[in-house]
Amino acid sequence: MDMVPALLMIFLQFVSAGNNVFNKLALDSGMNPQILVAYRQILATCFLAPAAVYFERKTRPTFTRWIFFKIFLSAFFGGVMHQCLYFTGLKHTTPTIACALLNTAPAITFILAILFRMETIGIHRLSGQAKVIGTIVCVGGAAMMSFYTGSIINIGRSTLHWRYAEKLISQNTSASSSTITGPVVVFLGVVCFSMWFIIQNNLFKTFPAPYTVHPQL
C-alpha cells in the first residue's frame, strides 16, 4: 500500500502526457486555444460542482471580500492565464517540449516561494544546496531541450500509425518547433501555474474548501 501514491503519480504523468498529445491534435485541427480552455472549464465544472456541494456543504467556511479576492487571483492565474498561455504555446510547439517546460513548475515555484518569503534557501545546508542544484538542472535542461537545435538522432520509427495524426502533422509542420514563440509562451504559462500554487497555499489556510475554489485545471 505504501507504493500506491507513487504509482498513482506515475500514472498521472502518463495521463498528462496523453492529454498533451490530444490537445495538440485538437489545436492542429483548427481549434482556438481559448475555446479549448472554455470547454475544459465548462466540463470540469459540471463534474466538480456537485462534489463541492456534496462534500463541502457542511464544512465550507464563510465567504468574505478578502476570500473572494483570493479566489479571483487563484482563478485568474490558474484557470485563465496558465491555460490560455499554455495552450497558445502548445499550438506553436510540440507536446514533448510543452511537457518538458511544464516540469519546470517545481523549480519556478521554489523561486517564487523564496521571493514571497515562504521558503528559505539554507545554502549552507545540504538540503538547501540540493534545492539550488535541482532548480538549475531542471530549468537548464528544459531550456536546452526547448531552444537547442542540433543534429537528428535516429532512434528508429514507430510501428504505430494513426493516419489522422499523420495528416495533421504533415499539414502543420511549419507550426511545430521552428520558432521560439511556442516555448516562450508555454514557459510564461508555467510561471502563472507556479504563481497559482503560491496563491493556493495562502488561500487554503483561510478557506480549506478545495472543490469550491479549485480552478478547473
Considering only residues 18 and 83, tell me which one the structure prediction assigns the higher pLDDT. 83
Residue 192: what pLDDT?
Answer: 93
| d(C-alpha 11, C-alpha 8), whole Å | 5
pLDDT in tens, 93-134: 888 788 888 888 888 888 888 888 777 777 777 777 787 887
Residue 217: what pLDDT?
Answer: 47
Say whether pLDDT at 160 is over 80: no
Say whether pLDDT at 57 is over 60: yes
pLDDT confidence of 177, banded at 50, 70, 90?
very low
DSSP assignment of the chain, as one string? -TTHHHHHHHHHHHHHHHHHHHHHHHHHTT--HHHHHHHHHHHHHHHHHHHHHHHHTTTPPPP-HHHHHHHHHHIIIIIIIHHHHHHHHHHTS-HHHHHHHHTTHHHHHHHHHHHTTS----TTSHHHHHHHHHHHHHHHHHHHHHH---PPP-----S---HHHHHHHHHSGGGSSSSSHHHHHHHHHHHHHHHHHHHHHHHHHH---HHHH----
Considering only residues 34 and 178, tell me which one the structure prediction assigns the higher pLDDT. 34
Considering only residues 168 and 52, tell me which one the structure prediction assigns the higher pLDDT. 52
Q: Region 40-45: what's the mean pLDDT?
A: 86
Lowest mean pLDDT among 32-41, 67-76, 104-113, 208-217: 208-217
Lowest mean pLDDT among 101-110, 136-145, 203-212: 136-145
Residue 136: what pLDDT?
Answer: 82
**Cell digits for 15?**
495521463
Residue 114: what pLDDT?
Answer: 84
Query: Whole-model pTM?
Result: 0.77
Is residue 205 within 8 Å of residue 120, measured between CB atoms? no
Q: Region 130-159: what's the mean pLDDT?
A: 70
- Average model confidence (pLDDT) for the chain? 79
Lowest mean pLDDT among 73-87, 129-143, 149-163, 198-212: 149-163
Phi-psi group of 117: left, alpha or beta (phi > 0 → left; psi -120 to 50 → alpha; rest → beta): left
Domain boundaries, the chain: 12-56, 65-148+184-201
Residue 163: what pLDDT?
Answer: 60
